Structure formats: structure tokens, C-alpha cells
Copies of this chain bind each other. A is one copy, B any other.
């Protein structure tokens, strides 16, 4: 059957991409040998070239498809009406931070950072498809949060990038320093959110103090 062939071929392609993700994350673009990717994927060297024009194309498609996956998750994460922004951010950021810690998304961003000089197209792709959209979404949330009194100032409207900060910290810490001083990413995220979105205690305190005026 045709579908059997096609299915096997798709599986092989996926295996190559998975192996490439592993290998590139571990060693970077230049230090990864195509042969290693092939071995990890359990295919012959030539098979790589049946699926990808060359090593660079493999890398680019790897980034695109992996980002695509995360992008899909992001798109799916539609906010429930009535959710407070703080909880919305936690709901979205929490799994990303987890996965960043575990390996994939974090390594991916590390990869892109590392190789951004050589692959400027990828940075543009990432900006357009992920970052710009995320920023728009954050802005919308922030405006709403301001009008509902959850946020006092317009900082997050002007610099929605700030919301990404804990992810970056986690990502970089995990990649570089976790073996010297492990970081509880989720706790750090909460601490961060406590700073940015003053917690209820403070709120109720303020509320109280307002009431006592």
C-alpha cells in the first residue's frame, strides 16, 4: 500500500528531526556531524539527504517545525474570560518553563541564540511567528488588566517583553548553572509574578487601607 510507504517515510523524517534536535542542542550546529544525526535516528547517512537538501536545511526545518509545535500550543492557550492576568500568565508560562527546564524549548532558543548570526532568517521567522504575536496578546491582556484594576501602571503595555523575562532566566540558568545551584523554576515564576502583580495580601492590605481612609 502507498500509505504504508508514506507512513514509514514520515516516521523516518520525524526520527531524523528528533535526532537532529538532540544532536544540535547538545553540540551546536557546526560541531554536530550529519553522520551522528543519522546514527541517532537509526538511518543511513544518505537518508538524511533524501529528506533534507543539506545540513543547513535540516537545521532550519528543525527550528521551524519545533517552533511550530510550540506556536500551536501558544495559540491553543486561549484565555478563559474573567481570568485574572496573573493567572493567565502563569497558566501559559508554567508549562513552557517546565519544558524549557527539561530541554526542548530552552535548548531551541539557546540554539537560535547561538546560531542567530548564521541564520538570520530564522530569527525573523521566530520574531514574526512567535514573538510578535505573543507581544500583541500580552498587550491586550495588560490593557484589560489595567482597566480592571489588576495592574496599576502601563509598563507591560509599553514593554510586554518583560513578561518573557522569567522564561529567559529559567532557560539560561538551566542551561548553564543548574548543576552548581539548581533552580526551582516554578517557584521563581511565582515569585516573579508576585512582584509584578502585587499579591492579594498587598491588595487586601491596600483595600483595607483604602477602606480605613
Q: Are A176 and B116 in contact (CB under 8 A)?
A: yes
When each residue 109-135 of chain A gets 1 if its CB lies under 8 Å from chain B and 0 otherwise, what string results?
Answer: 110111111100001101110011000
Chain B residues positioned under 8 Å from A173 (CB to CB): 161
> Copy number in this complex?
4
Q: Please tell me if A42 contacts chain B, counting CB pairs below 8 Å.
A: no
Q: Please tell me if A195 contacts chain B, counting CB pairs below 8 Å.
A: yes
Known: A27-B118, A112-B176. 7 other contacts (CB 8 A): A123-B180, A152-B202, A153-B199, A155-B195, A164-B169, A205-B209, A209-B213
Instruction: Give the distance to chain B from A176, nearest Cβ to Cβ, in Å.
Output: 4
Stretch at the interface among A12-20, A74-82, A85-93, A186-194: A186-194
Q: Are B110 and A113 in contact (CB under 8 A)?
A: yes
Q: Please tell me if A71 contacts chain B, counting CB pairs below 8 Å.
A: no
A-B pairs, 7 with minimum CB distance: A209-B209, A114-B114, A30-B30, A165-B165, A155-B191, A168-B168, A123-B176
CA distance A173 to B154 in the complex (A): 20
Q: Please tell me if A67 contacts chain B, counting CB pairs below 8 Å.
A: no
Q: Are A117 and B28 in contact (CB under 8 A)?
A: yes
Instruction: Give the distance to chain B from A30, nearest Cβ to Cβ, in Å.
Output: 3
Q: Which single member of B31, B126, B196 contacts A118 (CB below 8 Å)?
A: B31
Instruction: Give the distance to chain B from A181, nearest Cβ to Cβ, in Å.
Output: 7
Q: Are B196 and A198 in contact (CB under 8 A)?
A: no
Q: Which single member of B113, B168, B194 contacts A155 (CB below 8 Å)?
A: B194
24 pairs across A/B with beta carbons < 8 Å?
A27-B118, A28-B115, A28-B117, A110-B113, A114-B114, A123-B176, A124-B180, A127-B176, A127-B181, A152-B198, A152-B205, A153-B199, A158-B187, A158-B191, A159-B183, A159-B187, A159-B188, A162-B192, A195-B196, A198-B198, A205-B206, A208-B209, A209-B210, A209-B212
